[in-house]
Amino acid sequence: MEITEVRVKLIDNKDDRLKAFCSMTIDKEFVIRDIKIIEGTSGYFVAMPSRKMSDHCEKCGGKNHLRAKFCNNCGASLPQERAKKDFKGRMKLHADIAHPINADCRKRIQNAVINAFKEEMEKSKQPDYKPVELEEPDDEVPEIV
């Protein structure tokens, strides 16, 4: 696997831990969007794209995220602690959409994304800086018939 491009869109909110969104191209053929760069207690780290986990109301079958106390559809009270717990005992509220499956791959992705982020931060200090657009028209994929 070769990481052939990383695009970084800086977030201009100084109070937030979220510092940037990224898209990463692999082997000039596959794009992963919505990668986040977050400032943690020991430096920056990469969070892969994820979605909120949900379940269905026992009364009406309506879909609700796992922290909801009441059904979005019928208003019925939902049981709490519906989320499964991870190996540390924390509720699992999000599921990764795309993620590396081993430590070496995670390290390569983390290094490439953090390095691109630092380069973009340096570029942003220039007076003629123009922010990167993550989605460009040429990214469109023709519909397969």
* Domain around 28: 3-49+97-139
How many domains are contained in the chain? 2
Please tell me the predicted confidence (pLDDT) of residue 89.
80
pLDDT of residue 32: 94
Q: Are residues 83 and 106 in the same domain?
A: no
108-140 residue pLDDT tens? 999 999 999 999 999 999 999 888 887 654 555
Return d(Cα 94, Cα 96) in angstroms, integer. 7
Contact partners, residue 134, CB within 8 Å, separation at least 6: 7, 9, 21, 22, 23, 33
pLDDT for 90? 80
For residues 38 and 10, membership in a common domain is answered with yes
- Give me the mean pLDDT over the 83-108 stretch: 87
Q: Is residue 145 assigned to a domain?
A: no
- Rounded Cα distance, 4 and 1, in Å: 9
Is position 133 within any domain?
Answer: yes
Same domain, 122 and 58: no
Considering the entire predicted model, what is its pTM? Answer: 0.73
Same domain membership, residue 43 and residue 16:
yes
Do residues 24 and 82 share a domain? no
Encode pLDDT of 16-44 as tens digits: 999 999 999 999 999 999 999 999 999 99
Q: Is the pLDDT of residue 8 over 90?
A: yes
* Residue predicted with more confidence, 139 or 73: 73
119 phi, psi to nearest 5 deg: -65, -40
Is the domain of 22 the same as that of 44? yes
Is 16 a domain residue? yes
d(CA 123, CA 131): 9
